[in-house]
Structure 1
Amino acid sequence: MRIGAEVCSALDTLPRVCRRRQVKLKSNTASTARTPGPVQDFDVVIVGAGTAGCLLANRLSADPTCRVLLIEAGGKDDYLWIHIPVGYLYCIGNPRTDWLYQTDADPGLNGRRLRYPRGKVLGGCSSINGMIYMRGQSRDYDRWAEQVGDAAWRWEECLPAFLAHEDHWRGASEHHAAPGFDPKGARAGGEWRVERQRLSWKILDAFSAAAQEAGIPATEDFNRGNNEGVGYFEVNQRSGWRWNAAKAFLKPALLRDHRDNLQVWTGATVSRLLIDTDADGAPRVTGVEALPLGGGAPLVARARQEVVMAAGAVGTPSILQRSGVGEGAFLHGLGITPVHELPGVGGNLQDHLQIRAVFQVDGVPTLNTLAQTWWGKARIGLDYALRRRGPMSMAPSQLGAFTRSSERYAWPNVQYHVQPLSLEAFGEPLHSFNAFTASVCNLNPSSRGRIQITSADPEAAPSILANYLSTEEDRQVAADSLRLTRRIAAMPSLAPYRPREVKPGVQYQSDEDLARLAGDIGTTIFHPVGTCKMGRPDDPLAVVDSRLRVRGLRGLRVADASVMPSITSGNTNSPTLMIAERAAGWIRQDRG
Structure 2
Amino acid sequence: MYDYIIVGAGSAGCVLANRLTADPSKRVALLEAGPKDKSPLIHMPVGIALLANSKQVNWAFETEPQEHLKGRRLFWPRGKTLGGSSSINAMVYIRGHKADYEHWGQAAGTDLWGWDRALTLFRRLEDNERFGPDAYHGKGGELSVSDLRSVNPLSRDFVRAASHVDVPVNTDFNGETQEGLGLYQVTQKNGRRWSSAQAFLRGAEKRPNLDVLTDARVTRVVMDGKRAVGVTLNQGGEYRQLRLNNGGEVILSGGAVNSPQLLMLSGIGDSEELRKHGIPLVHHLPEVGKNLVDHLDITLMHAANSRLPIGVAPSFLLRGVSALFSYIFARRGFLTSNVAEAGGFVKSSPSCERPNVQFHFLPTFLKDHGRKVMTGYGYTLHICDLLPKSRGFIGLKSPDPLADPLIQPNYLSDPEDIKTMISAVKFGRRVLAAPTMALHSKREVMPGNSVSSDDQIADFIRENAETIYHPVGTCRMGVDPESVVDPELKVRGIEGLRVVDASIMPSLVAGNTNAPTMMIAENAADILLGNVTVQARVMTPTPTADTTDANYSVPRAVEMERR
TM-score by length of 1: 0.86
Give 2:99's aligned residue.
Answer: 139
Kept in 1, the 8 Å contact 2:299–2:382? The answer is: yes
Q: Confirm or deny: 8 A CA contact 1:212 1:230 kept in the other structure.
A: no
CA positional deviation for 1:254? 2.4
Give yes or no for the alignment of 1:232 onto 2:183: yes
Counterpart-to-counterpart distance in 2, 1:228 and 1:343: 38
Partner of residue 431, structure 1: 375
Question: Displacement of 1:251 after TM fit?
Answer: 1.2
Q: Distance in 2 between matches of 1:474 and 1:303?
A: 48
Query: Partners in 2 of 1:370 and 1:409 — Cα distance?
Result: 42
Q: Which of residues 176, 179, 182 in structure 1 aligns to 2:137?
A: 176
Distance 2:270 2:526 in 1: 30
Instruction: Name the residue aligned to 2:502.
Output: 561
Q: Would you say 1:116 and 2:58 are equivalent positions?
A: no
Counterpart amino acid of residue 299 in structure 1: Q
CA distance in 2 between counterparts of 1:489 and 1:267 reads 44
> In structure 1, what residue type is equivalent to 2:517?
T
Aligned to 1:93: 53
- Distance in 2, Cα, partners of 1:537 & 1:479: 35
Instruction: Say yes or no: does 1:203 pair with 2:154.
Output: yes
Q: What secondary structure is seen at the aligned counterpart in 1 of 2:138?
A: coil
Q: Deviation per CA, 1:376-431, whole angstroms, max 9, x where unpaired?
A: 22122222123212221111300011110111211010000001112443322233
Alpha-carbon deviations, 1:80-127, whole Å to 9, x = none? 221111222333232221112111111121111121111111111111
Q: 1:372 offset after TM fit, Å?
A: 4.4
Q: Could you tell me whether the CA contact under 8 Å between 1:74 and 1:121 is conserved in 2? A: yes
User: What whole-Å deviation, never above 9, does each CA across 1:549-575 have from its counterpart, x for those lacking one?
Assistant: 111111111110000011111110000
2:530 equivalent to 1:589? yes
Q: Does 1:298 align with 2:298?
A: no
1:590 deviates by 8.7
1:66 aligns with 2:20: no
* Contact 1:74/1:120 (8 A) holds in 2: yes
Q: Indicate if the aligned counterparts of 1:371 and 1:377 stay in contact, CA closer than 8 A.
A: no
Q: 1:450 to 1:396 in 2, by over 3 A?
A: farther
Runs of 5+ unmatched residues, structure 2: 534-563
Q: Deviations over 1:321-367 (max 9, x none)?
A: 10011010011001111111111111111111111001223256211
What's 2:282 paired with?
339
- List per-residue Cα deviations over 1:183-233 (Å, max 9, x = no partner): xxxxxxx11000100112222222211122201101111112531111111
Q: Which letter does structure 1 place at the counterpart of 2:336? A: S
Aligned pair 1:474/2:474, yes or no? Answer: no
Tell me what 1:51 maps to.
Answer: 11
In the alignment, which residue of structure 1 is the partner of 2:126?
166
Q: Which residue pairs with 1:491 in the alignment? A: 434
**Tell me, what secondary structure is at the counterpart of 1:211?**
helix
* Amino acid paired to 1:301: R
- CA distance in 2 between partners of 1:118 and 1:490 (Å): 34
- CA-CA distance at 1:303 after TM superposition: 4.5
Written as runs of structure 1 = structure 2, the 5 A alignment for 1:178-197 is 178-179=139-140, 190-197=141-148
1:249 is displaced (CA, Å) by: 1.1
Q: Which amino acid aligns with 2:498?
A: R
Alpha-carbon distance between aligned partners in 2 of 1:384 and 1:253, rounded to the nearest angstrom: 28
Write the mapping of 1:422-461 to structure 2, written as runs, cut at 5 A. Answer: 422-425=365-368, 426-432=370-376, 434-461=377-404
Asked whether the equivalents of residues 421 and 430 of structure 1 are also in contact (C-alpha less than 8 Å), the reply is no
Q: How many equivalent residue pairs?
A: 530
Counterpart for residue 114 of structure 2:
154
What residue ranges of structure 1 are gaps of 5+ in the alignment? 1-40, 180-189, 278-282
Helix, strand or coil: the match of 2:439?
helix
- Residue among 469, 482, 496 paired with 1:526: 469
- Name 2:543's counterpart in structure 1: none
SS of alignment partner, residue 243 of structure 2: strand
Match of 2:489 in 1: 548
- In the alignment, which of 367, 379, 393 is matched to residue 322 of structure 2? 379
Q: In the alignment, does 2:351 pair up with 1:403?
A: no
Question: Is the 8 Å Cα contact of residues 339 and 363 (structure 2) preserved in structure 1?
Answer: no
Amino acid at match of 1:249: F
Q: Distance in 1 between matches of 2:367 and 2:350?
A: 32
CA contact (8 A) 1:45 1:303 kept: no
Retained in 2: the 8 A contact 1:561–1:576? yes
> For residues 367 and 50 of structure 2, what CA distance do their matches in structure 1 show?
18
Deviations 1:285-341 (CA, angstroms, capped at 9, x unpaired): 122111212x22422322532111101111100100100110100110011111111
For 1:107, the equivalent position in structure 2 comes to: 67
Alignment RMSD, CA only?
1.8
* Corresponding residue of 1:253: 204
Residue-by-residue CA offset, 1:137-160 (whole Å, 9 max, x unaligned): 111100111222222221111111
Partner of 1:311: 254
In the alignment, the residues of structure 2 paired with residue 454 and residue 372 of structure 1 have an alpha-carbon distance, to the nearest angstrom, of 48
Inter-partner Cα distance in structure 1 for 2:79 and 2:202: 18
Amino acid in structure 1 at the alignment position of 2:223: I
CA contact (8 A) 1:370 1:376 kept: no
One-letter amino acid of the structure 1 residue matched with residue 197 of structure 2: A
SS across alignment from 2:524: helix
Matched letter for residue 136 of structure 2: H
Structure 1 residues 77, 423: CA separation in 2 closer, same or farther (over 3 Å shift)? closer
Contact 2:358 2:385 in 1 (8 A): yes
Pair 469,409 (structure 1): closer, same or farther in 2 beyond 3 Å? same
Deviation of the 1:536 alpha carbon:
2.3
Structure 1, 366-375 or 442-451: larger mean CA deviation:
366-375
Aligned to 2:103, the other structure's residue is in SS state helix
User: Which amino acid counterpart does residue 149 of structure 2 have in structure 1?
Assistant: R
The residue aligned with 1:10 is none
